[in-house]
Structure 1
Amino acid sequence: MPPQGEVQWLFFDPSVLLNENGTEQRWRRGVVQALQRRGRAVTLEQVERAWMQAISAPRPVQPLLGAVRHLAPEAPAEEVVAEVIATSGQQDMLVTGLQLALHELRQRFRLGVIGPYRPPGTRERLARFHLSFGLVALSDELALSHRLDAAGKVDPAIFTWALRKVNALPGQAAYASDRVSLGLAPAKMAGLTTIWLRTTNYRLRYPRNGYETPDLTFNSLPEMARALTRGPGLLRKG
């Protein structure tokens, strides 16, 4: 087994591989329609505002679920979310520069995907682009790191599961995510090196505690790939 301080595995949050803007826009329109079917008239602008409020909320929350709860607290939120995802379809694209960045990173690391607090369907969305990784661990499939408790506490279980699956120690893995609360925090709780990719609207939520504070920060995936392949010591611990 490699030394504890040498990072061998680099895991990604699916949201830094897929440009989900188109899909999330469809989901927001789906919220309007789903709530209208339940007698609650809301506008797309209201949904978009509630979505952004959920991202920046003090307690972590998935924005789709948070928007529904904010706009229609009496509605069965998880039922509405499932309906929206099932009826809205998806319109993902690959993040700009992804394929070259992955090619560069594969020269130094084994690559995997860990998706905590993800809605259903992520595996199919990755497969659509023929993206292949040594490990794909998704919360909705494993029922790990899938739900927040009553206090909004994040759960690192899916990261612990992934480390066991690839036979790696926490210090031998790093995790890149755009989400400090629902991505980096549980990864750091499990002992992984954390990398914040400030590439989506989630950059509006700044770290609020030690677990949410990343070890490294980059503004794009290609920038991260260049830094990690040309300066591998950035990920060395101990």
Structure 2
Amino acid sequence: MEMKKRINMELRNRAPEEVTELVLDNCLCVNGEIEGLNDTFKELEFLSMANVELSSLAQLPSLNKLRKLELSDNIISGGLEVLAEKCPNLTYLNLSGNKIKDLSTVEALQNLKNLKSLDLFNCEITNLEDYRESIFELLQQITYLDGFDQEDNEAPDSEEEDDEDGDEDDGDEEEDEAGPPEGYEEEEEDDDEEEDEDEAGSELGEGEEEVGLSYLMKEEIQDEEDDDDYVEEGEEEEEEEEEGLRGEKRKRDAEDDGEEEDD
């Protein structure tokens, strides 16, 4: 597929000024030139044209917001001065697998003041003696060459860098949207639990008082009933004694009457 058709396909019904990333890998460059890419892609931040048989950057449009440019596995041998003119804010440039042979070709990248990472892996220039030392001396603005800094520390992945930036932004948002300190809700819950316990305790106390009062009243009633029973029993015994006495008296009176008749 030719580069122009590939660009139209990648747009997916979007306007060029809405696109921030564009991947055109493995398509075909006619005559080794860039086609279908123009100044309307003004918001583009990431552009990848790997393995497209690109030999010239002369038709590269002005992309002031472009930060990352992938040009690996092409046949570029020079003309890198166009990059500083058209993409002045580049921070990452991958030229691995191209036809770059000498330091003079790379010298044109000195004008990319924001460039931090450069990849020349699999280019003939890497066969030069003191290659790494020479590149770091020539391009003092870069931090990483072929994925490593001057102390051979590996460069972080571009995705990790983006994540770190995102985390910092998230942290600011979290600070802005910070709510009450930790434990605040827990304290409220503890207070609510204490109030519930107090209410339950007061209800229980009232219940106990009611039970105690009813119990005492029952006891008093029972005592009164017992006293009444005791009084009734005492009265019955007294009545029986009185009846017994009256019977004995009548018996004696009868005996006395009998003796008088015998006389």
TM-score class, shorter: under 0.3
TM-score between both structures, scaled by the size of structure 2: 0.25
Q: Tell which structure's C-alpha radius of gyration is larger.
A: 2
Instruction: Using CA pairs under 8 Å that are at least 6 residues apart, name the structure with larger relative contact order, 1 or 2.
Output: 1
TM-score after normalising by structure 1: 0.27
Question: Normalized per residue, which structure has more strand?
Answer: 1
More helix by share: 2
